[in-house]
Chain A
């Protein structure tokens, strides 16, 4: 996709997304809200997998920690302050990612995958088997946080439409933030590490620190998604931290095409969309999903975001004959 076509695609997609609440169908508003949350989650993982070359198989931990923080830090029968809860939850996810990153980033390749999984499982069992988070049943976030600043309330998260636009705005913000970061000297180093870490070291880059920065940032943004998830559905369970979720978000990134932020968004939408359709057909939806993913990896290894380029090349090839 050339730059212009890509920009047009993004603007059209944004316009369509902005129109969703006009339908008045609360089912679709909630469904797309969830897709937007997952899109944030997938973009945060793509920073690691697609741009830094770190295949984390435990990214659900940071999603879940912020989701639990949203529920646990909120007053039980009263609305918490959004402007304190959101940074607090995201900060906790970032802190967890920083501390875990200190350890896991000492490993490489398959070991990195296994160690990130192991830490995520530890986090899962903290919430599953200790009284801190209500055990396997999870806990409710009874009252959605209030966006009031002083006496003024710019929007109300209890209103589905307001909530939708808040999530959409955050997704756009996360996209713009990551795009900007990737253009910065810091971001260029991450892409260099993915391409050839050894060479980066021999040019004087202390790559461990850069990877730790990326891991922390990805954890924080995964936390943004987890926080929004808790607000959207009003309850959290340990399953949010389970390895299934870590696998799902990895599949979203692969589906959309690694190393492409729009691809991560498209992957999240495609994954959640297919899940919805398959679930309505059969309870064995995962079987169908697995088939689709195998087919996609085989026939479209660059993911959905590589589709426009492929089509264009095919058309140009046809013209040349």
Chain B
């Protein structure tokens, strides 16, 4: 990835709109994710952040608008196809294989890059490249000591780290992370923030997050959403100074101690 230049736009969504019956969950949302940049989607509950990330990951088709990845239109691709082109996602509610070991969770993610489904007589555990990849990603996500644990018994924070390891094992260029810090203690949060900063160097990250301290600690760009619409988008300093954003958050001032 030596040729990768920072600020290269990877994922670009233009005027995404999603309607559920009469409800407009997202209206004219435009966001970009560039390499080397952490873009945070911010907003109160019900603002449409999850709808937005679902449209970007392919879990939900947009009603209108287009999404491009490295210049290619991917609006019509399914979640699985988007994963294959290089968009990885983690979920708000932990979404792993709880009966499997940490290693198997990540090994499956690594195997997805070279599936060879017709090789039904070779042993998965003898595919060294997938195992090596899995171990490297587990290490990178800070779970090195847990590789052989059954993932269902990990702490909540460790399961979130596992999700990151799984996304990394798919070689994703763009990481869509839905509240990776939710429910974490302050120690775990701090570790995750460090991890995100490290991952930013070679990838583009779009983050949905509530934890204000963390948001301002990692964000390069913040997009504030309210009622399914973009209120303001820009660098943290601009968001901090924005009167519109402060007004939108008036009711929940205590959670917005800037």
Instruction: Tell whether A196 pairs with B83 under 8 Å between CB atoms, given A201-B78, A202-B89, A205-B112.
Output: no
A207-238 residues at the B interface, CB under 8 angstroms: 207, 209-210, 213
CA–CA, A15 and B2, complex, Å: 61
Residue B122 interfacial (CB < 8 Å): yes
Indicate if the CB atoms of A188 and B124 lie closer than 8 Å.
yes
CA–CA, A204 and B57, complex, Å: 11
CA–CA, A207 and B78, complex, Å: 12
Residue A310 interfacial (CB < 8 Å): no
Q: Shortest Cβ distance from A214 into chain B, in angstroms? A: 10
Write the chain A residue with the least CB distance to B86: A204
Q: Give per-residue flags for B97-110: 1 if the beta carbon is below 8 A from chain A beta carbons, else 0.
A: 11110001001110
Residue B170 interfacial (CB < 8 Å): yes
CA–CA, A188 and B111, complex, Å: 10
Q: Which residues of B contact A181 (CB under 8 A)?
A: 120-121
Indicate if the CB atoms of A204 and B97 lie closer than 8 Å.
no
Q: Give per-residue flags for A137-157: 1 if the beta carbon is below 8 A from chain B beta carbons, else 0.
A: 000000000000000000000
CA–CA, A203 and B117, complex, Å: 15
Q: Which residues of B contact A205 (CB under 8 A)?
A: 80, 112, 115
The B interface is mostly helix, strand or loop, or mixed, namely loop
Instruction: Tell whether A183 pairs with B123 under 8 Å between CB atoms, given A195-B100, A202-B80, A207-B80.
Output: yes
Pick from B80, B99, B113, B170 the residue with the most CB of A within 10 Å. B80
Indicate if the CB atoms of A213 and B117 lie closer than 8 Å.
yes
Residue B45 interfacial (CB < 8 Å): no
Indicate if the CB atoms of B121 and A180 lie closer than 8 Å.
yes
Q: Which residues of A contact B98 (CB under 8 A)?
A: 195
A176-209 residues at the B interface, CB under 8 angstroms: 180-181, 183-189, 192, 195-196, 198-207, 209
Q: Which residues of B contact A195 (CB under 8 A)?
A: 97-100
Q: Shortest Cβ distance from A13 into chain B, in angstroms? A: 25
Instruction: Tell whether A203 pairs with B121 under 8 Å between CB atoms, given A195-B98, A196-B96.
Output: no
CA–CA, A195 and B95, complex, Å: 11
Indicate if the CB atoms of B80 and A192 lie closer than 8 Å.
no
Indicate if the CB atoms of A185 and B97 lie closer than 8 Å.
no
Indicate if the CB atoms of B125 and A183 lie closer than 8 Å.
yes
Instruction: Tell whether A210 pairs with B123 under 8 Å between CB atoms, given A195-B100, A201-B80.
Output: no
Write the chain B residue with the least CB distance to A195: B97
CA–CA, A44 and B118, complex, Å: 19
Instruction: Tell whether A199 pairs with B97 under 8 Å between CB atoms, given A183-B123, A185-B119, A205-B80.
Output: yes
B157-182 residues at the A interface, CB under 8 angstroms: 166, 170
Residue B84 interfacial (CB < 8 Å): yes
Q: Which residues of A contact B96 (CB under 8 A)?
A: 196, 199
CA–CA, A183 and B119, complex, Å: 11
Residue B73 interfacial (CB < 8 Å): no
Residue B242 interfacial (CB < 8 Å): no
CA–CA, A205 and B79, complex, Å: 9
Instruction: Tell whether A185 pairs with B117 under 8 Å between CB atoms, given A195-B98, A203-B108.
Output: yes
Q: Which residues of A contact B122 (CB under 8 A)?
A: 184-185
Q: Which residues of B contact A209 (CB under 8 A)?
A: 117
CA–CA, A195 and B115, complex, Å: 18
Residue B7 interfacial (CB < 8 Å): no
Pick from B79, B81, B120, B121 the residue with the most CB of A within 10 Å. B120
Indicate if the CB atoms of A203 and B119 lie closer than 8 Å.
no
Q: Shortest Cβ distance from A20 into chain B, in angstroms? A: 31
Indicate if the CB atoms of B121 and A192 lie closer than 8 Å.
no
Instruction: Tell whether A201 pairs with B124 under 8 Å between CB atoms, given A185-B117, A213-B117.
Output: no
Write the chain B residue with the least CB distance to A208: B80
Q: Which residues of B contact A204 (CB under 8 A)?
A: 80-81, 83-84, 112-113, 170
Q: Which residues of A contact B130 (CB under 8 A)?
A: 185
Within the complex, which residue of A189, A203, A206 is in contact with B170, where a contact is CB–CB below 8 Å?
A203
CA–CA, A198 and B59, complex, Å: 9
Within the complex, which residue of A184, A185, A192, A199 is in contact with B95, where a contact is CB–CB below 8 Å?
A199
Q: Which residues of A contact B255 (CB under 8 A)?
A: none
Q: Which residues of B contact A185 (CB under 8 A)?
A: 111, 115-117, 119, 122, 124, 127, 130
Q: Give per-residue flags for A9-46: 1 if the beta carbon is below 8 A from chain B beta carbons, else 0.
A: 00000000000000000000000000000000000000
Pick from A185, A188, A192, A198 the residue with the most CB of B within 10 Å. A185
Q: Shortest Cβ distance from B60 into chain A, in angstroms? A: 12
Within the complex, which residue of A189, A198, A201 is in contact with B108, where a contact is CB–CB below 8 Å?
A189
CA–CA, A210 and B108, complex, Å: 14
Q: Which residues of A contact B108 (CB under 8 A)?
A: 188-189, 192, 200, 203
Residues of A whose CB lies within 8 Å of any CB of B are 180-181, 183-189, 192, 195-196, 198-207, 209-210, 213
Q: Which 8 A-B pairs have the closest CB atoms?
A: A204-B83, A204-B112, A195-B97, A204-B84, A201-B80, A185-B124, A203-B112, A188-B124
